[in-house]
Structure 1
Amino acid sequence: MWVEKRATGTYKFVEQYKSPLTGKRKRVSVTMDKNTAHTRKEAQAALEAKIQHQLKHVDDGNLKHGITLRELATDWLKDYKPMVKYHTYDNSASRVKVMLKHIDGDILVEKIKPLLIEDFLNGMIYKDDYKNSSVMKFKGTLGNMLRYAYKHNYIKANPIEQVNVQYRTDEANDDTSKKFLDDNELHEVLRFMYHRSPHYGRFCEFLYLTGMRYGEAASLRRQDISRRDDGKVVASINGTLVNDHKQMSPKTGNSRRDVTLNDRAVLLLNKESVDHPAKSEFIFESRQGHPLGNTILNYWLRQAKRKFDIDKVVSLHTFRHTHISKLAELGVPLYLIQHRVGHKDATTTKDIYLHVTKKAEQRLDSKLNFL
């Protein structure tokens, strides 16, 4: 290591190393304010860390030791971010934060065994009360991280392949009827949300009337609403809400669409416009001028679930499922429902449609003897 004094009065500490890929010498450097015994020691450690970071990405066929779970997470997220939409990345990054709270981030990746992963995932189900579907997402994210580790020779084999999660059996055959609300439940929940705030109530009712996803409705701006030549009012779905900003790309290609609004939905938009000045970016906003947050809305929906003892899933997404169930009940063909809600081929939409139409057939069968 040598030191170069810079014109700014700072000191540049430099070290060389030989690249295994090219055989050539490369340099790494770090700048310090002073040149003392203490700063030289700090610089030496920083330079060594930089060299090791460069060398660990060199694939020489040998296992690379000393990589921690926290380092793996940082490397994988950096590699993963440009490959996916921000919302997908953000969800993965959030799951990584949760993992690092439950699993020591300083554990060496090469020391991670299937049992450690099983304990973490099973604990999420039976200690932290996570749903099976949520734990599956955590397992998927961890599996992607460990596949990255295997690809870069941090581990000899991927332990996720030997993990056996003990999912709750009572969720194995999820009851489709618990995914949407009946008329009485819907009325109670909406009345509760209107009582909390007219903004909350209008937003939740708008989700039910349109079948939009939270991010689609929350990111609607005035210019996204238009009246067609036939007099119908439509909302153009062209983006979603990410970190309080509109990302001009919906969840999937099929999500980009125009949604026809009925008279009640138009009325709700007009009432929101009255409450917010024209300079507001979004139609649905809080009193502070921010988009309505899904965290606080889902919190109050959980309170409504408890208050009315509703034995179903009650969240913002429940209004979307309830919209699908109502369209099925009205006899709207499945392909039109899928187009309206922006689904090309969604299992949940099909399940709800078949559940509702099957119930209608059973009601018809019970009345045939009265002909």
Structure 2
Amino acid sequence: MRSENSTTEIIRQADSDEQLIELWLHGRPPHTQRAYRREADRFTKFVDLPLRKVTLADIQQFADHVDEAGLKPSTIQRSLSAVKSLFTFGFKLGYFPFDVGQAVKVPSFRNQLSERILPETDVLRIVSLEPNPRNRAILLTLYAGGFRVSEICSLKWRHLQERDSAGQITVFGKGGKTRTVLIPESVWDALLRLRREATDDDPVFRSRKRGHLNESAVWRIVRKASERAGIDKDVSCHWFRHAHASHALDRGCPIHLVQATLGHSSIATTGKYLHAKPSESSGGYLCCE
């Protein structure tokens, strides 16, 4: 047996910055890996130092750099959050003697959620004017299920199950969470019309090469459909998720049900949609005439 006075061996978990970054990214969703890797590359190219030699001043200079570069506030926040996450991970792993990023302040930015919620009439117009059956089914599924684009791109037919006259879709979502969402009959029918001779392991939304449709292709479908409908906004796939939450709450859906459908970890996240489109304000109680 090892003596209590013997020195405990410290096992090195990473031998290089590159290996540390790979360990940090491991197990994250593909889109998160891409975004975090991009921000890590941005940071390492700027400081041009081994990560163990990075100081708080270096990170603060990087923060000034991304601010002066004219990036969107949300991009700046994501970039600094990624850097902080990397250094926190390295510290917990024993790669760094202390967490140099802990003192970095990540700026907040104006919440633009209310600007990204389309009225029901706009969503229905986008869907109804889409001539391609596959693309129309994609738009309907994004909206009816409140899914993320990564979730629908990875769908196989075995993830869809019949429920009475409609059906349900099971997705493996953000944070490693699995959730099952009931799908309205009209949307279910639109999906089944795509199946034909497909097997359970075939993609629901196929590319021209008969593989899974990638996220960038779905983004192009959404953007083109929005332009066709005359929506003068930079509509993205995630706007359909915003619309799902907002419209469901407007129609009286319990907030905990919206939370479960969208897979939010906190009810506070779902509650942001109530604040984005309030039904009343204390200003209505004032005499302003």
- TM-score, structure 1 normalization: 0.60
Amino acid at match of 1:281: D
> Using a 3 Å threshold, how does the CA distance of structure 1 residues 263 and 165 change in structure 2: closer, same or farther?
closer
Q: Which residue in 2 is equivalent to 1:283?
A: 204
Q: Which runs of 5+ in 1 are unaligned?
A: 1-20, 24-54, 59-66, 240-249, 367-371
Q: Which residue in 1 is equivalent to 2:76?
A: 135
Answer 1 or 2: higher relative contact order, Cα 8 Å, separation at least 6. Answer: 2
Q: Which residue in 2 is equivalent to 1:233?
A: 166
SS at match of 1:349: helix
**Is 2:183 the counterpart of 1:261?**
yes
> Using a 3 Å threshold, how does the CA distance of structure 1 residues 273 and 121 change in structure 2: closer, same or farther?
farther
> Whole-Å Cα distance in 2 between the matches of residues 111 and 252 of structure 1?
32
Contact preservation (8 Å) 2:134, 2:205: yes
> Whole-Å Cα distance in 2 between the matches of residues 329 and 182 of structure 1?
11
**Is 2:234 the counterpart of 1:293?**
no
The alpha carbon displacement at 1:207 in A equals 0.9
Q: Which residue in 1 is equivalent to 2:136?
A: 201
Among candidates 174, 178, 192, match of residue 251 of structure 1: 174
> Whole-Å Cα distance in 2 between the matches of residues 256 and 151 of structure 1?
28
1:337-359 Cα offsets, whole Å, 9 max, x none, are 22222234243421213544x32
Higher Cα radius of gyration? 1
SS at match of 1:235: strand
1:114-125 matches, cutoff 5 A: 114-125=56-67
The alpha carbon displacement at 1:292 in A equals 2.0
Contact preservation (8 Å) 2:195, 2:204: yes
Q: Which residue in 2 is equivalent to 1:37?
A: none
SS at match of 2:241: helix
Deviates more, 1:262-271 or 1:87-96: 87-96
Amino acid at match of 1:208: Y
> Using a 3 Å threshold, how does the CA distance of structure 1 residues 189 and 136 change in structure 2: closer, same or farther?
same
1:240-279 Cα offsets, whole Å, 9 max, x none, are xxxxxxxxxx3346x43332221221122023224x7447
Contact preservation (8 Å) 1:284, 1:291: yes
Higher-strand-fraction structure: 1
| Number of equivalenced pairs | 274
SS at match of 2:180: strand
Q: Which residue in 2 is equivalent to 1:183?
A: 120
Contact preservation (8 Å) 1:185, 1:310: no
SS at match of 2:203: coil
Q: Which residue in 2 is equivalent to 1:210?
A: 145
Among candidates 46, 60, 63, match of residue 103 of structure 1: 46
SS at match of 2:258: helix
- Cα RMSD for the two superposed structures: 3.9
SS at match of 2:139: helix
Amino acid at match of 1:203: I
- TM-score, structure 2 normalization: 0.74
Contact preservation (8 Å) 2:160, 2:170: no
Among candidates 22, 33, 37, match of residue 93 of structure 1: 37
Contact preservation (8 Å) 1:324, 1:353: no
Q: Which residue in 1 is equivalent to 2:195?
A: 273
> Whole-Å Cα distance in 2 between the matches of residues 238 and 309 of structure 1?
29
Contact preservation (8 Å) 1:232, 1:261: no
SS at match of 1:201: helix
> Whole-Å Cα distance in 1 between the matches of residues 93 and 271 of structure 2?
41
> Whole-Å Cα distance in 2 between the matches of residues 121 and 129 of structure 1?
11
SS at match of 1:315: coil
